[in-house]
Amino acid sequence: MAKFLLPILLILALPLRAAEVTATVSANPVGTEDTFQLTIQVDGYDGKVEFPQSFSIPGFDIIAGPSTSESTQIINWKVSRSISEVFTLSPRKTGTFEIPSFTVRVGNKEYRTRPISVVVKQGNLLSRSQPRSRSPFDMFDNNFFNPPSAAPRPVRADSLFIRCELSKPVAYIGEAVVVSYRIFSRVSVARLGIKDLPDFTGFLTEDLDQNHLVDRKKIMMNGVPYNTAVIFRKIVFPTKAGKLPLPQPVFSIQVGDPYSFFPGEPIMRKSEPATLTVYPLPSPEPAGFSGAVGQFNLSVSVDKNHVKMGDSITATVTVSGEGDFNNVSLMFPENIDGFRVFRPSSPDLKRDPNNPLQGTKTWKVVLVPQKTGDLQVPATKLTFFNPVTKEYVTRETSPIGITVEKGSNLPAETGLTPTGGNEVVAVGKDIDYIRTGSAPDRFIDISEQQWYRLSFAGIPVFFILLGLFLRWRDPSRKDPVAYRRTHAGTLFRKRIREAAKLLKKNRGREYYQQLSKACISYFADKWNRSVLDLKIDEIARELETKNVDPALIKAIVDVVEYCDFESYTPSSNALNREIMKDAEAAILKLEKVL
């Protein structure tokens, strides 16, 4: 028993060393984009330890902490106890800053740490990973089994906020304005999203690409650097005058390492308020004004000025500039003397990725001359309001002259091979000898036979009986109108097969013409109308009166207009095989409702 008491008495008799209080940083110098740890540690203490409860450090933000750890060691019969608190700091700006001394109470005594001078430089001086305390789970080299032991302190409002930015503070009714929501952050952001997006009351809106952060940059505010980026934006068009408030979306933001399994609870940040001042448009509005507000240029061009009868001309109308392209409508004349004017193509709007208010809007119109001579494409006008000059402006193009000549009377494909002179063809070389006497009766004249005369007379009877049989099998043949109506689908499919043959032969113009004819003929058969008198616009109106689905009407109209456009606009591109499938699908659905 004595051999056990002696070591215990020796341990109890050994005095503990005096407490030692220190403050250290994990890195020095550091960068403005870095975070580092401040550790306040007490070694060799005996009794209660009281760390400072609340403090601030000039030049730094405390973004996490404190996390507390304790340890006890016995080395060479000496007992050593230590306790520490760790804070994560983020620099606000470059320079040399002093971390002040801290007062720590150990038992009945107070101890003070030494101040630490920290140099902050621009950029990122430290690696991504910061050293952390080891644990038995460190063999996995990740934080899955080693989540943070203490929840970080709430992120301060001035370290993470969102502002609404306007491309212009003042606008007119209908003027395009880009609304951007920009995040300002001094902490690492793992994930973000929109929690609540109110309506844009008083505005028409147009969506822009939101799949990536836009305009990333660093901004200094009051000497403090922020990482910023536009996280959401729209083009808005005010619909009324006055001071219109912009909506304040609520964003969900997770702060921390984006590669961590434990990003923490999301932080909700509401955008700061913003207001747009809107003025009314001056009165009166000029004739032809469609509501477009901006600065635009107008041009009209044709692909050729000298054509022959039957050739097509493609006119391209282009509006470029900056502003509200949605209210820029095509003012190209619908009827031009000497031309057949086809329905314009759908407008193609391309915006500048660097400035979404700038762009180009184009239409294509196919013209087919109907007579020879010197014809003219008349001028085209565009009227809009210019918010810079504060006045209405009308752009007008110059007329375009077109010379049309008589086309060739020869067919395009005659199948004839030209020759340079008379050709002599030998048809035989041998001559039979002339034989005397009666010639042998090599041929028998069957027309004198009785059976031939009977069979020849029976052929008309056979076809008459066949016709009666077919009429008996198909009573609708008695009524041609009923036959066209009930067999419209069958006739359509027959015409489609003819179009497929033309497609295989790569005869593009004839393919599109046959496909358009098949669609128009279907309705002509259904309604007992002439194909030449039936137009696609009239078909669309008739289908509307029959309460046909508008989407189905649009599908058949798009097919016919596409085929008409392609038949007069030769292209080197591959023929569109899918348009034939679209036509078949649309007619199949119409069969069920007509």
pLDDT tens for 152-172 read 556 788 888 999 999 999 999
- Helix or strand holding residue 272 (H, E): none
Q: pLDDT grade, residue 385 (50/70/90)?
A: very high
Q: Range with the lowest mean pLDDT among 126-135, 168-177, 261-270?
A: 126-135
- Phi, psi (degrees; rounded to nearest 5) at 553: -65, -45
Q: What is the pTM of this model?
A: 0.47
* Torsion angle in degrees (nearest 10) through CA of 498, 500, 505, 509: 80
Instruction: Give the whole-angstrom CA distance, residue 360 versus residue 345.
Output: 15
β-pairing, 36-43 with 306-308? unpaired
Interaxial angle between packed helices 578-593 and 488-504, expressed in degrees from 0 to 180 and rounded to the nearest 10: 180
3-state class (DSSP) for residue 337: coil
By C-alpha distance, which of 222, 26, 185, 39 is closest to 118?
26
Gap between the Cα atoms of 61 and 59, Å rounded = 7
SS3 breakdown of the chain: % helix, strand, coil, rounded to 5?
A: 25, 35, 40
Beta bridge partners of 225: 220
Whether the per-residue pLDDT at 505 is higher than 80: the answer is: yes
Q: What is the pLDDT of residue 387?
A: 93
pLDDT for res 436: 54
Are 251 and 194 a contacting pair, CB within 8 Å? yes
Q: How confident is the model at residue 198 (pLDDT cuts 50, 70, 90)?
A: confident
pLDDT in tens, 340-353: 888 888 888 888 87
Distances (CA, A) of 164 to 196, 271, 304, 581: 15, 6, 50, 48
Residue 216 confidence (pLDDT): 84
Percentage of the chain modeled with pLDDT above 70? 78
Q: How far apart are CA 376 and CA 343, in angstroms?
A: 19
> What pairing do the DSSP bridges indicate for beta strands 20-25 and 36-43?
antiparallel
- C-alpha to C-alpha distances, 68 to 3, 261, 589, nearest whole angstrom: 39, 22, 73
pLDDT at residue 563, as a whole number? 85
**Which of 557, 545, 565, 476 has its CA nearest to residue 520?**
557
Q: Flag whether pLDDT at 354 surpasses 60.
A: yes
Q: Which tens digit of pLDDT belongs to each residue from 478-490?
A: 567 777 888 888 8
- Which amino acid would we find at residue 65? G
Whether the predicted pLDDT of 137 surpasses 50: no
Counting DSSP H helices and E strands in the chain, the numbers are 8, 31
Mean pLDDT of the chain: 79
Do the Cβ atoms of 66 and 111 come closer than 8 Å?
A: no
Average pLDDT over every residue of 41-63:
80
Averaged pLDDT for residues 454-464: 78
Please report, for residues 45, 128, 211, the alpha-carbon distance to residue 188 in angstroms, rounded to integers and kept in the order given: 37, 11, 20
Residue 242 forms beta bridges with which residues? 278
Q: How confident is the model at residue 423 (pLDDT cuts 50, 70, 90)?
A: very low
The pLDDT value recorded for residue 79 is 61
Element (H, E) at 227: strand 224-238
pLDDT of residue 256: 74
Hey, what are 477's tokens?
A: 């043949």
Check residues 171 and 70 and name the one with the higher pLDDT. Answer: 171
Averaged pLDDT, 313-328: 90
